[in-house]
Amino acid sequence: MRCFFLLLLLVSCKDLETENLSVSVPSADEAQNQEETLRVEPPFWWTGFKEGSLQLLVHYKNIGQAKVTFEYAGVNLVRSNKADSPNYLFLDLSISPKTKPGIMQLSFSFDNGLVITYPFEIKERAKNSDQFIGFDSSDVIYLITPDRFANGDSSNDIVPGMNEQGVDRTDGYSRHGGDLRGIIDHLDYIDEMGFTAIWPTPVLENNMPRASYHGYAITDLYGVDPRFGTLDQMKILSQNLHQRNMKFIMDQVANHCGLEHWWMKDLPFKDWVNYQENFESNAENWNDEVTIQSNHRRTTNQDPYASKFDKEGMEFGWFVKDMPDLNQGNPFMAKYIIQNSIWWIETLQLNGIRQDTYPYPNKVFMANWAAAIMNEYPNFNIVGEEWSYNPLLVGYWQEGKPNKDGYRSHLKSTMDFPMQKAIIDGVNEEESWNFGFVKTYEGLANDFAYSNPNDLLVFLDNHDMSRVYTQLGENLTKTKMALGYLLTMPRIVQLYYGTEILLDDSSNPGDHGLIRTDFPGGWSGDRVNAFTGENLSKEQMAMQSFTRQILNYRKHSKALHQGTTTHFAPENGIYVISRTFGEETVVTILNKNESPVKMMLNRFSEINLNGKTLRNIVSNEEVIWKDVLQLKEKGVIMLSTDLTKQKK
């Protein structure tokens, strides 16, 4: 159909003055997955939103000269906005709540007689806004780098026409072939491990010449990268997750796009991206030296003394030279980003969004973006990335925080980098008054600074930092201790794929290509298969079993989801934390003593366990909580008053 469309245009050019030409592009669903001459974004929409306005970006040669007409009951053209480039129109539409679903034929008429039509579909929503249920503290999220998880369809490894060709699993920065089908094929494993949600790093088109695998340099905000799969496969993934009562979180990027984004060759306005004049002046010789990069001083968002110079350097500078910084101060860009997020929520029936580089865009826009989503979807959730170890900075972004500058974020969840560091330091360090477990103890004490600590997302590592097993010196006992504590905390929990089998980056700590290593068993011919357990080491099998036991307990534990939290100051190398809800109490004991030690129980009387029988969540062994508890070895013990034994 695409070739036929182009042929009609070529023939028509010979005699445009003497005949009218009506050309129809493919259906809205087809247009989503094909690069068409006429581009309309979003490619389709829905009826029944609280917000009845919609703005369409239309791109086509000299479309700014066209007259736009359509007839559709309940839909009105409020305004047709020209851009600085003659090849754009931004159409402001109003959609009545009573508008019925159907196809609306958009007609673009040119003075030379050319008429182009686009079948814009208005769909019926699958469910009401309040039925979109977000992730919360009952969830443990499995973070996946799709290119490195599993190759379920080798036929899409090489896609003709893409800037980066081929796969090379020996190169950490080349594509390896993992895809959406690979995730779909292994949902049984993820589910049976006990995870309740997945967060894949971005799978939208990254048509970059190098290192396109990670997904954060998006070149089409409405298109799935064909090397990952198709929009239909994303829908299947979402459907399969929901059939398992699991949740789907989408990684989005409002701050920047990829340098090869289609609009970078024809920017609609003079201020579509930040420092646009600098880019356009140097585009033929674009490099690090001419790029005006962000100063990355994120504290300028909160600092009452920050200079205007520093604030602008933070907000307007490009993240890196290959990622143009989007100007959310342009109202058309702002509307585009908000609508794009809503389009994906509806298309994939999402349960949440993880927003990358949250402090970098204009913070007023980010508040408006979050408010627009949360006003439409009151039970939804969004987590923002603020990579800071300062709880005051992280807490600033969370909804409900009474900030002195009056800023209200509308953001329900932020990423708990301070607690991540506190856990690693606490487990790693030798015990003393100011070091060791006290770092973790005091880190959790900082919850007083947050409006709702239960809504923070905590983790031990992710796709941008060294693997936890590397951070903890490839020590299995320490890794179990860190994980046991993480899964006890009053938080939403995220684990990075492979943590359960001790993947590491120890040969070159911090190297992103190594951090995002292939999951063993995800490729045909892999000697080790973590999905089946084949050829895993003894330590890997122990960690996988440990993780599975705790996650499957936590999946149904009200105490760990929403229970009251009590922890006791570390003493004699032992740190105890408990969660209680109703009759269920979970006690997690972290012990650094190398030799057997007796833990006297009298100081824990307030958690009301004296004389009760508790079950070890991992081993299923039972103990009586009375007077003294013998700790046989260094490590973590998780005990529960729920005596129901789990399968091992």
pLDDT band at 35 (very low <50, low <70, confident <90, very high): very low
307 in a domain, yes or no? no
Q: Is the dihedral of CA 529, 531, 536, 539 positive or negative?
A: positive
38 in a domain, yes or no? yes
Report which of 556, 551, 546, 562 is spatially closest to residue 619, judged by C-alpha positions: 546
Spatial distance between the Cα atoms of 417 and 394, rounded to a whole number of angstroms? 8
Residue 562 has pLDDT above 50, yes or no: yes
Indicate if 95 and 210 belong to the same structural domain: no
Indicate if 635 and 525 belong to the same structural domain: no
Residue 480 has pLDDT above 50, yes or no: yes
The pLDDT score that the predictor gives to residue 648 is 64
Average pLDDT, the chain: 94
Indicate if 66 and 119 belong to the same structural domain: yes
Last residue of a domain, one of 521, 555, 589: 555
Indicate if 335 and 204 belong to the same structural domain: yes
Backbone angles phi, psi at 83, to 5 degrees: -105, 180
The pLDDT score that the predictor gives to residue 56 is 98
pLDDT tens for residues 364-412? 999 999 999 999 999 999 999 999 999 999 999 999 999 999 999 999 9
Last residue of a domain, one of 526, 555, 584: 555
The pLDDT score that the predictor gives to residue 646 is 73
Read off the CATH number of the domain in which 589 is found. Answer: 2.60.40.1180
The DSSP H or E segment spanning 153 is none
The pLDDT score that the predictor gives to residue 145 is 98
- Count CB atoms within 10 A of the CB of residue 372: 20
306 in a domain, yes or no? no
Indicate if 539 and 579 belong to the same structural domain: no
* Three-state DSSP string of 31-85: HHHCCCCCEEECCEEEECCCCCEEEEEEECCCHHHCEEECCCCCEEEEEEEECCC
Indicate if 65 and 213 belong to the same structural domain: no
430 in a domain, yes or no? no
pLDDT band at 645 (very low <50, low <70, confident <90, very high): confident
Type of residue found at 290: V
Indicate if 533 and 612 belong to the same structural domain: no
86 φψ region: left (φ > 0), alpha (ψ -120 to 50), beta (else) = alpha
309 in a domain, yes or no? no
Q: Which residues contact 331 (CB under 8 A, 6 or more apart)?
A: none
pLDDT band at 142 (very low <50, low <70, confident <90, very high): very high
Q: Is the dihedral of CA 197, 198, 199, 204 positive or negative?
A: negative
Q: How many domains does the chain contain in total?
A: 3
Range of the domain at 183: 140-261+325-423+451-555
Q: Is the pTM of this model over 0.85?
A: yes
Q: What percent of the chain has pLDDT over 90?
A: 93
Read off the CATH number of the domain in which 34 is found. Answer: 2.60.40.10
Residue 24 has pLDDT above 70, yes or no: no
The mean per-residue pLDDT over the stretch 487-501 comes to 98
Residue 22 has pLDDT above 90, yes or no: no
Spatial distance between the Cα atoms of 448 and 584, rounded to a whole number of angstroms? 25
290 in a domain, yes or no? no
Give buried/exposed letters for 233-259 (b at 16+ CB in 10 A, else e): bbeebbebbeeeebbbbbbbbbbbbbb
- Structural contact between residues 467 and 499, judged by C-beta atoms closer than 8 angstroms: yes
The DSSP H or E segment spanning 108 is strand 102-109
Q: End-to-end CA distance of the chain: give it in Å, rounded.
A: 55
pLDDT tens for residues 525-541? 999 999 999 999 999 99
Read off the CATH number of the domain in which 510 is found. Answer: 3.20.20.80
Q: What percent of the chain has pLDDT over 70?
A: 94
Spatial distance between the Cα atoms of 76 and 78, rounded to a whole number of angstroms? 6
Place of tokens 């247009």: 31
pLDDT band at 4 (very low <50, low <70, confident <90, very high): very low
pLDDT band at 420 (very low <50, low <70, confident <90, very high): very high
Residue 283 has pLDDT above 80, yes or no: yes
The pLDDT score that the predictor gives to residue 13 is 31
Last residue of a domain, one of 533, 555, 577: 555
The pLDDT score that the predictor gives to residue 16 is 27
- Structural contact between residues 117 and 107, judged by C-beta atoms closer than 8 angstroms: yes
Give buried/exposed letters for 102-140 (b at 16+ CB in 10 A, else e): eebebebbbeeebebbbbbbbeeeeeebeebebbbbbbb
Residue 196 has pLDDT above 70, yes or no: yes
DSSP state of 174: S
Residue 556 has pLDDT above 60, yes or no: yes
The pLDDT score that the predictor gives to residue 81 is 98
Sequence-ordered strand ranges (E) for 422-469: 457-459
The pLDDT score that the predictor gives to residue 368 is 98
Indicate if 357 and 480 belong to the same structural domain: yes
Report which of 94, 202, 64 is spatially closest to residue 143, judged by C-alpha positions: 202
pLDDT tens for residues 316-353? 999 999 999 999 999 999 999 999 999 999 999 999 99
Burial of 289 (0-12, 13-18, 19+ CB in 10 A): exposed
Report which of 199, 157, 195, 158 is spatially closest to residue 179, judged by C-alpha positions: 157
Query: What are the residue numbers of the active site?
Result: 356, 385
Q: Is the dihedral of CA 181, 186, 191, 195 positive or negative?
A: negative
pLDDT tens for residues 204-250? 999 999 999 999 999 999 999 999 999 999 999 999 999 999 999 99
- Structural contact between residues 29 and 12, judged by C-beta atoms closer than 8 angstroms: no
Higher pLDDT, 505 or 31: 505
445 in a domain, yes or no? no
Give buried/exposed letters for 612-646 (b at 16+ CB in 10 A, else e): eebbebbeeeeeebeeebebeebbbbbbbbbeeee
627 in a domain, yes or no? yes
Indicate if 545 and 564 belong to the same structural domain: no
pLDDT band at 37 (very low <50, low <70, confident <90, very high): confident
The mean per-residue pLDDT over the stretch 76-94 comes to 98
Indicate if 52 and 168 belong to the same structural domain: no
The pLDDT score that the predictor gives to residue 11 is 26
Indicate if 231 and 367 belong to the same structural domain: yes
The pLDDT score that the predictor gives to residue 8 is 28
Tokens of 165: 């060709």
Indicate if 550 and 572 belong to the same structural domain: no
